[in-house]
Amino acid sequence: MMTSRLDQHFDYRLQVMNLRAARQQVLATNIANADTPNYKARDVDFATQLRRIQSGQGGFSMAQTHGAHLAPSSGVAGSGGTKYREVVQGSIDGNTVDMNLEMARFTENSVKYQADVAFMQSRVSGLQRAISGQ
């Protein structure tokens, strides 16, 4: 019973952190493909996915599109949770990555992830102090 209460206590924040980590992967892929012809920038619809988590539907999951693919694990970014970004100014080669925008979003997401980590560390240390009677 105690384990399940602890799981519930941390589950929401953990799902949010997983969502931020998945978004970081998507943004990093965009940055890595900035010079790839016809590459279309993607992003995670964070607000929609957060509402899914809050409503108890959990995060989004990957789609297994080929029999040789590994089975997806829950809560990881994939085709079901990403969307193509609206093109602000496309390039001649069809690439829609705006490096300034990608770097800004990557940095913002990274800062928010670090804040989530600090929050979780604070919660854990608070529980440890309570358990030890401090």
Residues 67-102: tens digit of each pLDDT:
665 554 444 444 457 888 888 777 889 999 999 999
Its pTM stands at 0.74
Q: Is the pLDDT confidence value at 109 over 90?
A: yes
Q: Provide the pLDDT for residue 64.
A: 57
Which contacts qualify for 99-107: CB closer than 8 Å, 24 or more apart? 99/31, 99/34, 102/27, 102/30, 102/31, 102/34, 102/41, 103/31, 105/27, 105/43, 106/24, 106/27, 106/28, 106/31
Comparing 1-10, 43-52, 61-70, which segment has the lowest mean pLDDT?
Answer: 61-70
pLDDT higher at 80 or 22: 22
99-132 vs 2-32: helix axis angle to the nearest 10?
A: 160
Q: Provide the pLDDT for residue 75.
A: 44
Q: Provide the pLDDT for residue 69.
A: 59
Q: Provide the pLDDT for residue 70.
A: 55
Count of positions (residues) in the chain: 134
Place of tokens 């829950």: 74
